[in-house]
Amino acid sequence: MSYRPNILLILSDQHNPHVLGCAGDRTVRTPNLDRLAARGVRFSSAYCGSPLCGPSRMTFLTAQHGSDICVWSNGCVLDSDIPTFLHPLNDAGYRTVLCGRMHFNGPDQRHGFQARTIGDIGQARYPAGVERKLLGSIPQATVGQSRAAVEVAGPGRTAYQAYDEAVTDAACRFLNEWDRASASQPSPWSWASCSPTAPSSARPASIHTISTASTSPAFRMAISTASTRRPLPTAGAGNSTP
């Protein structure tokens, strides 16, 4: 393999494919993703292998159905003897690096990645009750597709947002250091966030921007109602395991 390009994989969580400027959404602001789409190929008919976070990521990494790898829920553990697409990349001479969320359960926190620049958040292997304490102010009932998640939607800042900011900072530092080192070894690099997973909260300025950009009266009324709710307490970055 004479030519080995660098690979940067950006993975967001629970991101509706239609909520992108390049997909025709006139309200949301995604300029960086829009630029990537304009310079490359957008697979508008692609879909994930599972509608749930953990299984979806594991099917993506292994190119197998969740039923084939025994990963059906967010609490399942991917066996370490199951190959992921990282293993052939390692064999081809790449340095594989992960930064951020990948929902690995169990002791194996790499599954083919040679390194991690920052750990995951809220691992399922911790005793019951510990995870949510580490996630600060995020109540258990608000992290899924539920009425509670909708009722708390509005201005605020959660541990998920703080974690994503820490992931972004770590990613930028790594890429800058790797670029300065002029490394001859190509790198497939994965940046993975928790957002925009529930609960759906954002900075007041961001909510105002979306509200003023929307042409839907019903949507603007919903945003206006959410903006009057009591903000979620500011939370720290929560747990981050290597």
Higher pLDDT, 10 or 144: 10
Q: Is 103 a catalytic residue?
A: yes
**188 domain-assigned:** yes
**222 domain-assigned:** yes
**130 domain-assigned:** yes
Would you give the end-to-end CA distance of the chain in angstroms? 32
Q: pLDDT tens-digit profile of 66-122? A: 999 999 998 999 999 999 999 999 998 888 999 988 999 999 999 999 998 888 876
Residue 202 pairs with which residues in a beta bridge? Answer: 155
Dist CA 136 CA 153 (whole Å): 17
* Helical (H) or strand (E) element with 133: helix 130-134
Handedness of CA 30, 33, 36, 40 (dihedral sign): negative
Q: Which residue has the tokens 């399942």?
A: 76
Percent of the chain residues past pLDDT 70, beyond the cut: 67
**20 domain-assigned:** no
Q: Which domain holds residue 222?
A: 7-14+83-227
DSSP string, 150-184: HHT-EEB--HHHHHHHHHHHHHHHHHHHHHHHT-S
Q: pLDDT tens-digit profile of 148-203? A: 777 777 777 777 778 888 888 888 888 888 877 765 566 656 676 666 666 667 77
Q: Domains in the chain: how many in total?
A: 1
Q: State residue 125's pLDDT score.
A: 44
In this structure, are residues 97 and 171 in contact, taking their beta carbons and an 8 Å threshold? no
**61 domain-assigned:** no
Q: State residue 238's pLDDT score.
A: 39
Residue 241 pairs with which residues in a beta bridge? Answer: 120
pTM higher than 0.85, yes or no? no
Dist CA 64 CA 49 (whole Å): 8
| Active-site hit among 48, 70, 99, 103 | 103
Q: State residue 130's pLDDT score.
A: 44
**33 domain-assigned:** no
Q: Which residue has the tokens 């953990």?
A: 54
| Active-site hit among 53, 76, 99, 194 | 53
Sheet holding 7-11, edge to edge: 7-11, 188-192, 97-100, 115-118
In this structure, are residues 71 and 204 in contact, taking their beta carbons and an 8 Å threshold? no
**66 domain-assigned:** no
Dist CA 155 CA 230 (whole Å): 8
CA distances (Å), 185 to each of 112, 181, 188, in order?
Answer: 17, 11, 10
**27 domain-assigned:** no
In this structure, are residues 113 and 96 in contact, taking their beta carbons and an 8 Å threshold? yes
Q: Is 87 a catalytic residue?
A: no
